[in-house]
Amino acid sequence: MTAAAAERTAARRRRTRRRSLRRHWQLYLLLVLPVAYFVIFQYIPMANNVIAFKDYNVVDGIWGSPWAGLDHFERFFANPVAWDLIRNTLLLSLYGFLAGFPIPVILALALNEVRARFFKRTVQMVTYAPHFISTVIVVSMLILIFSPRIGFMSDLLGFFGMSQNLLADPGAFRSVYVWSDVWQTAGYSAIIYMAALAGIDPSLYEAARLDGANRLRKIWHVDLPGIAPTVVVVMILSVGSIMAVGFEKAFLLQNPLNLSTSEIIATYTYKVGLLSADFSLATAVGLFNSAINLILLLAVNTVSKRVTGNGLW
Amino acid sequence: MTVETPAARRAPDAAPRGPRPRRARQVQDTPVDRVFMAGVYLLLCTFLLVVLVPLANIVASSLSSPAAVSGGRVFLWPVDFTLIGYEAVLTNRAILVGFGNSLFYAGVGTVVSVALTVMIAYPLSRSDLVGRRVLIGGVLFSMLFSGGLIPTYMVVRALGLLDTRWAIILPSAIAAWQVLIAMTYFRTSIPGELYEAAQLDGASDLRFLWSVVLPLSKPLLAVIALMYGIGQWNSYFSALIYLRSEELYPLQLVLRDILIVNNSGGTNLADQLAAEQMADLMKFSLIVVSTVPVLLVYPFVARHFTKGVMLGSVKG
C-alpha cells in the first residue's frame, strides 16, 4: 500500500467516525451520566490514592499537601500490628477458599444425580435462600444461636465438650466466619456449576453408558471434565480477591475478645482512616491491599492460561 | 410495534429444568450405584437440615414467650406461643423509621441504578459506537482495581453528600458486573435485523431503545432491578461511613445497633429482668420482620436470579 493510499484510508476512517458521531449523537448523550458516574465515583478515588504518598491535611487539600514519599508505608510496616493484619487477612481468605470452593461443586454434582424433581427443586430453593439474607442478620443469628444463655448451638457444642462461647474465642473466629459463609453462599454458588453441567454434550453420557461406567465413573470422566473450565474461572476470581476479604462481616463479628484474629486489613483501614482520621496512612494500607490483589489476579490468570488454557481474558 | 422474535424467546432458561433427568436415567444402576445414590440423598438431606434448622429456630423463638427465649428453652417449635415480640418490634419508632428509609433507598436506588445501567450498557452493546473498547476497558478496570475506602470518602465529602440520602444511593449507583450482564444480553438477544428495520423506518436510537429494546428486555430488567434492590436493602456499609443522623439510618444500621452493638435503649431498673427477657425476644422477632420483605419476593425472583447468574456466565 502506498503512503497516499494509507493516507486516504485514514481519512476515510476519520470521516466515517465523524459521521457516526453525528448520526448517533443520542447514544453519546445516553453515555454522559454513566460516564460521569464512573469518573466521579471510580476514577477520581483512584487518583485520590496519591495522598498515600503525601502528608494530607484538609487545608492544603489533596494536591497541595506536601509529598511524603513512602513514609506512610514504612510507618505501617514498622508497626508490629502490620504483620498480624496481613496474616489474619491471608489466613481468613485461604481458609474461606479451601472450605468454600469445593462444597458448591459437590452440591452441584450431587443435585445433578437426583431424579426426583420435587426433592431437587426443594433442595435448590432452600439452599439458595440464605444468600438473600443480609450480613447484619446473619451475624445477629450467629450471636443469638451461639449465645451460651439462649442459643441451641452452644448446648450442642457443650455436648461435644467444646468451648461454649465461640464468638469470644479468638481461635474459633475464622471457623465461625468461614462456615457461616459456606452456610450462606454454597447453594447460590452451586448455580453456576449446575449451568455448566446442563451444557455437557449428552452423547458423552451415552458413550459412558455403552462403556459400562457406573455413576461414580460417569462423574469422574464426564461431569468433572465438563465443568473444569467453569471451575478454573471461579477459582481465578476467588484467588484474585484473596486480599479483599469483606469488611462488612468481619467488622460485625468483632468484639474486644477476638480482635487478635478478627482484625483484618479492611477493618484496620476503617478504624485508622475514619475513626482516627489518619487519611494518608489508611489510604496507604488500602492501596497496598489493592495492589497485592491486582498482582495476584494477574499472576493466577497467567499461570492458568499457560497450564489449562482457560483464563479470564 | 410488536415484534416477536425467536431470539427473545430463547432467552437463557433456568438450567435446573434442563433435560438432564431423562439423560441420567439412561445410565443403568448397579448395586454400587444404589449405595452411591443413598449417599447422595443423605448428603443433600444433611445440607437441607443445616440450612433449615437455624432458620426454624429463629422463627420458633420469635413466636415464644420472653421467659422461654431467655431460658434457652426453644428449639424448633414455639414455647408458650405469643406475638408480643412482634408487637414490640412493630411499635418501636427507630425500627419503623429505618424500615421506611430502607424502602426509600431500595426503591429510589433501584430506579436510579437500573436507568444508569441501561444508559451505559445499551450504547456499549452497539458495535458501531466510537470509543467502545476504551469505555468497556474503563468499566472492566474499575472491577479489578477499586479506589478504596478513604479516597472514595473524600470524593463524597467534597461533593457535600455526607449525611444526606444521596450518599447512600449515588456512590454505589452502578455495579460494573450488572453493566456486563446487561451488555451481553443486549448483544445476544436483540437481533440485528430489528435495528436495520427500525433504521429504515427512520426511528432514532433513543426511540429504538425505548420502543423495541426495552420491551424485549423485560427478563433482564427484572434481574438487575432485583439484584440492585436486594443489594441496597441488605447493605449497611455506606450508611455506616456516610451517615450521622439517625433519622436517615436504613433498617440494617438500626438492626446493627439493636442486635449487635446491644444498644437497646434505657431500661427501667425496677423490672430489669423482664426488660432483658423482652430484649432477647425482640431480637428474634426483629430478624424475622426485617427478612420478610426479601423472603416474600424470593420465590418469585429465584428463577430470575438463576437466569441472572447464567447471563453473567455467558461470557467469562
Q: Which domains does chain A have, with CATH numbers?
A: 3-64 (no CATH), 80-308 (1.10.3720.10)
User: Which helix or strand (DSSP H or E) is residue A284 part of?
Assistant: helix A279-308
Question: For position B6, what pLDDT does the model report?
Answer: 40
| Residue of A25, A137, A233, A313 to mutate, testing the B interface (most B Cβ within 10 Å of its Cβ) | A137
Nearest to B70 among A126, A135, A150 (CB): A150
Question: For position B7, what pLDDT does the model report?
Answer: 40
What pLDDT digit, counting tens, does each position of B243-279 carry?
Answer: 999 899 999 999 888 888 765 444 455 566 777 788 8
Scan residues 222-241 of A and list those with Cβ closer than 8 Å to B.
230, 233, 240
Residue A213 to residue B27, Cβ atoms within 8 A:
yes
3-state secondary structure of B16: helix
B285 found inside a domain: yes
B54 found inside a domain: no
B86 found inside a domain: no
What is the rounded distance in angstroms from the CA atom of residue B273 to the CA atom of residue B264? 14
Give yes or no for A208 touching B (CB within 8 A).
Answer: yes
Chain B residues within 8 A of A299 when measuring between CB atoms = none
User: Which helix or strand (DSSP H or E) is residue B117 part of?
Assistant: helix B93-125
* Contact (CB, 8 A) for A166 and A192: no
Question: For position B261, what pLDDT does the model report?
Answer: 76
Long-range pairs, B207-213, Cβ under 8 A, ≥24: B209/A30, B209/B118, B209/B122, B211/B1, B212/B1, B212/B3, B213/B122, B213/B186
Q: Sorting pLDDT into bands at 50, 70 and 90, what band is B167?
A: very high
Give yes or no for A63 touching B (CB within 8 A).
Answer: no
Residue A140 to residue B259, Cβ atoms within 8 A:
yes
Domain total of chain B? 1
The lowest-confidence range among A106-120, A146-160, B76-90, B248-262 is: A146-160
Kindly list the distances between the CA atom of residue A200 and the CA atoms of A69, A112, B21, in Å, as whole numbers in the listed order: 55, 12, 13
Question: Grid coordinates representing A294?
Answer: 491486582
Residue A45 to residue B152, Cβ atoms within 8 A:
yes
Percent of chain B with pLDDT over 70: 82
Question: For position B165, what pLDDT does the model report?
Answer: 95
B71 found inside a domain: no
Question: What is the radius of gyration, based on Cα positions, of chain A?
Answer: 26
Question: B55 vs chain A: nearest CA distance in angstroms?
Answer: 9
The yes-or-no verdict on residue A29 having pLDDT over 60 is yes
Percent of chain B with pLDDT over 90: 37
Scan residues 123-162 of A and list those with Cβ closer than 8 Å to B.
123-130, 132-137, 139-141, 143-145, 149-152, 155
Residue B313 to residue A195, Cβ atoms within 8 A:
yes
Which has more confidence, A211 or B214? Answer: B214
What is the rounded distance in angstroms from the CA atom of residue B308 to the CA atom of residue B228? 12
Chain B residues within 8 A of A15 when measuring between CB atoms = none
Chain B residues within 8 A of A21 when measuring between CB atoms = 130
B15 found inside a domain: no
Question: B221 vs chain A: nearest CA distance in angstroms?
Answer: 17
Question: For position B309, what pLDDT does the model report?
Answer: 58
CA neighbor of A185 nearest in space, from A96, A90, A297: A96
The yes-or-no verdict on residue A157 having pLDDT over 90 is no
Question: For position B28, what pLDDT does the model report?
Answer: 60
User: Is residue B195 exposed (0-12), middle (13-18) or buried (19+ Cβ within 10 Å)?
Assistant: middle
Mean pLDDT (chain A, rounded): 86
- Under DSSP, the state recorded for A146 is T
| Residue of A17, A42, A142, A146 to mutate, testing the B interface (most B Cβ within 10 Å of its Cβ) | A42
Question: For position B241, what pLDDT does the model report?
Answer: 92
What pLDDT digit, counting tens, does each position of A122-149 carry?
Answer: 898 888 889 889 999 999 999 888 888 8
Count other C-beta atoms under 10 Å from residue B1's C-beta: 12
Residue B151 to residue A46, Cβ atoms within 8 A:
yes
What pLDDT digit, counting tens, does each position of B99-134 carry?
Answer: 999 999 999 999 999 999 999 999 999 888 888 999
B171 found inside a domain: yes
What pLDDT digit, counting tens, does each position of A89-100 carry?
Answer: 889 988 988 988
What is the rounded distance in angstroms from the CA atom of residue B139 to the CA atom of residue B134? 9
Question: For position B302, what pLDDT does the model report?
Answer: 64
Chain A residues within 8 A of B19 when measuring between CB atoms = 202
Chain A residues within 8 A of B116 when measuring between CB atoms = 33-34, 37
Q: What CATH number did the domain enclosing B241 receive?
A: 1.10.3720.10
The lowest-confidence range among A262-266, B45-49, B68-72 is: B68-72
Q: ipTM surpassing 0.85, yes or no?
A: no
Question: For position A174, what pLDDT does the model report?
Answer: 92
Residue B154 to residue A209, Cβ atoms within 8 A:
no
Chain B residues within 8 A of A274 when measuring between CB atoms = 149-150, 153, 241
Query: H helices within B126-271, ranges in order?
Result: 132-144, 149-158, 166-169, 176-189, 192-200, 205-208, 214-216, 218-234, 237-242, 251-255
Scan residues 183-202 of A and list those with Cβ closer than 8 Å to B.
183, 186-188, 191-192, 194-198, 202
Q: Sorting pLDDT into bands at 50, 70 and 90, what band is B304?
A: low
The yes-or-no verdict on residue A17 having pLDDT over 70 is yes
Question: For position B122, what pLDDT does the model report?
Answer: 95
B26 found inside a domain: no
pTM: 0.83
The yes-or-no verdict on residue A179 having pLDDT over 90 is yes
Q: Which domain holds residue B296?
A: 93-314
Pick from A17-21, A64-68, A199-203, B37-41 the range whose average pLDDT is largest.
Answer: B37-41
Q: Sorting pLDDT into bands at 50, 70 and 90, what band is B303?
A: low
Give yes or no for A83 touching B (CB within 8 A).
Answer: no
B107 found inside a domain: yes
The lowest-confidence range among A268-272, B212-216, B304-308, B312-316 is: B312-316
